[in-house]
Amino acid sequence: MLEFRKNMSENSNFENFLIENKVVGYKTEPITLKSGKLSNWYANCRILSQKLNLLETSAKFVLEFLENNYLLLDNLDAVLGVPEGANELGQALQRELIRQNKIQDKIYSFRIKPKDHGDIANKYWINGNVPSKVLVLEDVTTTGGSAITFVKKLQEMGIEVVGVISLINRLQLDNGLMVEVNFQKANIFYLAMTDAQKLLNHLLKNTESENEFELIRNTMNAEYKKEYAEYNLISPVKLLRNLKPREIEKIGFREVLKLRQEKIKSCLCVGLDPLPEKLPKIFEIIDEDTENLAKNITAWMIEIVKATAEYTSMFKFQRAHWEAFLLGEAAMRQVIDYIYENYPDIPVFLDCKRGDIDRTQARYGLAHFIIDKVDGMNYSPYMGDECLTGLVESSLGWKSIVVLGRTSNPGSKNVQELILENQSQLWEKVVADNFNLAKEYKVDRDFGVVMAAAFLRDGQIYSSHLSRAREILGEKVWFLIPGIGTQGGLLKETLENAWRGFGSLVISSSSQIIFASQENDFAEAAAREAQKLNQEISKFI
């Protein structure tokens, strides 16, 4: 496992290094790639292994990349290049790590063609040394097939592979799938140091030929604009997060939610939405030290998780609360990892309300389902069908996609309660249409809807939106219900109108629980509030 320690840095020096040494370039006539596709630009990483200086410089760039992206190697035995193209590069990085005393002075050499006799050590390893834990290095990834095959072969030998680092991602789809998704489906961590779009941009900026400028720009449009317009991979993952498979991946979000609620006899969801100004006094605050703040908030939220886990059926992260302080995303992922490792039967949900055109929504799916690794996320449907369909691929057939229906904020009525020609309200059409779309794309089993808790307005109780939602959707959709607690939602009326058994809804509460105290008893106070809310819930289910 890797630890997060340092800030990210730009990687433009590496891209310039590749271009200056002719590793990456442009041809006026298209070439045929290994995948069979035609392309006018090339990435020939064999050049790096033709000179010792280039190999050693490349190894230093890789090591710098690992360190700058929090990928600090823990108890690693070896770096292995994917046969055959990255063999020399892997050996160069291995030697650099040995020189810097980051790993033991021991050489591991994998046989490209194994012997037809002997044990594993002699059959596959030239010098008889078999590593226990390795990092795999690839030069260029198109579909990821070669690297995935190599990783699986190593895993069959009982070797732990912490992940795959590639110098270049060509950004080409494999049967409609991004290379990141291919690795995710194989449960292999993957990260590239640079990609086609960035390299082509560098070529574009450095060319002095007007003709070549037009040719490169046309290549960018022809090869990448439709598939990866303005492609920018979401901030690289700060951790090699080799998480153990969980039951949710086999049976799906909704079933795991149901089982968890049956186990604790509650539908409570604890929201983990930190505010730096609410940090308990026990944590030391160092001005101008962003890393200190991130570590303190991480520790604070982990203590809240430990204190409230026995009372909750789901943990929910409001992503804006984590994005609003430096290193917050990395901190959030550490807390998510802690939950998965210690409470694997508790699903994790991301409240982010994303909604955009198809290609951008697909990037949100990658960012949250694949990189954040959450089990469910919500979306805003305002931009139409693509807001849902853009998330389907990354949901992997078991994660929950949740549409905003009737929300709890006071101003929502100005839009969501608009009356249509058939006298229905706008939110009713939105949830019905999106559920039908979910069925069309076969993601309806774990589909959900955000519905406001029952509430008071002008002295009158409003709960009919919940019963109406059940009329439209039946029991096939679970409800995420915010607004209970400090927002004044009515628990009894909410459950009477929306509860349809375990797994049918969650009651989300954040501030009332996590901000219960800023003194040394903050964790115990949070546990008391969670337990208290559970006791109230139990009266009505």
Q: Rounded CA gap, 91 and 55, in Å?
A: 9
Length of the chain in terms of residues written: 541
Who's near 179: CB < 8 A, 6+ residues apart? 141, 142, 143, 144, 169, 170, 171, 172, 190
> What's the number of CA atoms in the CB half-sphere (13 Å) around residue 391?
35
Which of 400, 402, 307 is CA-nearest to residue 347? 400
> Cβ(448)–Cβ(400) under 8 Å?
yes
- Residue 383 CB neighbours (<10 A): 15
* Positions of E strands within 56-187: 78-81, 133-141, 160-169
Tokens of 214: 């037009």
Tokens of 241: 């997060």
> What letter does residue 366 receive in the DSSP assignment?
I
Q: Rounded CA gap, 439 and 356, in Å?
A: 21
Q: Give Dmax (Cα) for the chain.
A: 83
Tokens of 266: 């509650």
Angle subtended by helix axes 464-473 and 491-498, to nearest 10: 20
Q: Rounded CA gap, 328 and 320, in Å?
A: 9
Cα distances (angstroms) measured from residue 41 to each of 115, 170, 173, 182, 322: 38, 10, 16, 23, 39
> What letter does residue 223 receive in the DSSP assignment?
I
Q: Rounded CA gap, 431 and 98, in Å?
A: 58
Who's near 536: CB < 8 A, 6+ residues apart? 491
- Residue 295 CB neighbours (<10 A): 17
Strands 268-271 and 314-318: parallel
Tokens of 36: 């069979």
Cα distances (angstroms) measured from residue 96 to each of 219, 328, 513: 37, 32, 49
Burial class of residue 207, CB neighbours in 10 A (0-12, 13-18, 19+): middle
Among 278, 353, 413, 492, the one annotated catalytic: 353
Asked whether the bond before 84 is cis by omega within 30 degrees of 0, the reply is yes
Residue 316 falls in the annotated catalytic set: no
So which residues are the catalytic ones?
353
